[in-house]
Structure 1
Amino acid sequence: MSKKKFIIPLILVFTLISQNSCKVSYSFTGASIPPEAKTYSVQLFQNLASIVNPTLANYITEELKNRFLTQTRLTPVADFGDFAFSGQIVTYDVSPTAIQGNEIAAQNRLTIAVKVKFVNAIDPKQSFDKTFSQYAVFSSSQNFSQVEQALVQEIVEKLIDDIFNAAASNW
């Protein structure tokens, strides 16, 4: 009998909380997505960088799709999702970063920048059009072609984190 006295008020409290909760859906990933948002779409990123990595555009596009698929309740659609992404790769550049006394680079830096247009059909004030840039440093003694794939994976992971957080975390 005493369990019923405890459980019934507890159920009522949770019911009242759920009915009076704010209009933002939170997840354990840090995403805060309005409950009205049901879909997302990601258009293939165009590669407009002066140096073109032939697999990068598809890789970034698929990683962004996968992030929303695995960390939100949104459903992917081909076009015009409630959250819609498009963009361009604007920088893919290798440059020296740490010059030694004999004017030889000790380290190099791979930088990737993407310009992202995000349209939030539910709350247009949250939409943006901005450039995200990330880099990774590697030793100049390493052959770039041998470390390129690992560097790209590291950089793209950071870029996707930045884009996801900008679009789905309003706090």
Structure 2
Amino acid sequence: MKKIVLLLILSITYSCGPYSFTGVSTTAETYQVNFFQNNAPIVEPGLDRDFTNALQDLILNQTNLDLVGTNGQLIYEGEITEFRIAPMSATAQNTAAQNRLTIGVNLRFYDTRNSDNDFEKKYSFFYDYADGKQLNEVKTEAFQVIFERITQDIFNDTLAKW
């Protein structure tokens, strides 16, 4: 009886093959995230550093890939191309009732083992906030929301292939 149970467990384990709960489909062992320079018309200090770190951290936390400074098998590079605040809706007094912060990033992705996976793509996302607030008051939350969405989209396009 013990042999049957053991045989059943082994057959289920091996028949399913390796599986990742994050959906990562890569045989790479290392990745490299080059500094995303801020080339937006409006430069927000520290935005480039914070975005680069957010992308590094997401990949590090959702994969077993090792972060390296040079010679990574997967290379992420690009620049921040958009940082814009625009009014979204108006009040009866013709003033903005809500503002939208939009951040855009241009990504170049290289897979040194398979150049068919290389691509360049633009990503952007936004955060809406009430007109009575200044950007400084919502900046931490806004960056977190925007970075989470953009980095997850990058992750899905480069590693999860969703």
TM-score by length of 2: 0.91
State the Cα distance separating 1:30 from its structure 2 match.
2.5
Does residue 1:138 correspond to 2:137, yes or no?
no
Alignment-derived partner of residue 61 in structure 2: 70
1:96-131 alpha-carbon deviations (Å, 9 max, x no partner): 011223321100000000001011123322221011
SS at match of 2:136: helix
Give unmatched runs, 5+ long, in structure 1. Answer: none
Aligned residues: 162
SS at match of 2:108: strand
Alignment-derived partner of residue 56 in structure 1: 47
State the Cα distance separating 1:11 from its structure 2 match.
2.4
Give unmatched runs, 5+ long, in structure 2. Answer: none
C-alpha contact 1:83 1:118 (8 A) present in aligned 2 = yes
Quick one: which amino acid aligns to residue 60 of structure 1? F
- Give me the whole-angstrom Cα distance separating, in 1, the residues matched to 2:118 and 2:73: 11
Tell me: CA distance 1:87–1:6, structure 2 relative to 1, closer, same or farther (3 Å). same
State the Cα distance separating 1:10 from its structure 2 match.
4.1
SS at match of 2:42: coil
State the Cα distance separating 1:53 from its structure 2 match.
1.1
Alignment-derived partner of residue 10 in structure 2: 11
Tell me: CA distance 1:144–1:14, structure 2 relative to 1, closer, same or farther (3 Å). closer
State the Cα distance separating 1:82 from its structure 2 match.
1.2
Quick one: which amino acid aligns to residue 3 of structure 1? K
1:1-171 equivalence runs, <5 A: 2-8=1-7, 10-12=9-11, 14-15=13-14, 17=15, 21=17, 26-33=19-26, 35=27, 37-171=28-162
Quick one: which amino acid aligns to residue 139 of structure 1? A
1:34-92 alpha-carbon deviations (Å, 9 max, x no partner): x2x11000001010011111111011111111111111111111123111001100000
- Give me the whole-angstrom Cα distance separating, in 1, the residues matched to 2:8 and 2:90: 69
State the Cα distance separating 1:163 from its structure 2 match.
1.0
Give me the CA root mean square deviation. Answer: 1.7
C-alpha contact 1:42 1:79 (8 A) present in aligned 2 = no
Quick one: which amino acid aligns to residue 152 of structure 1? F
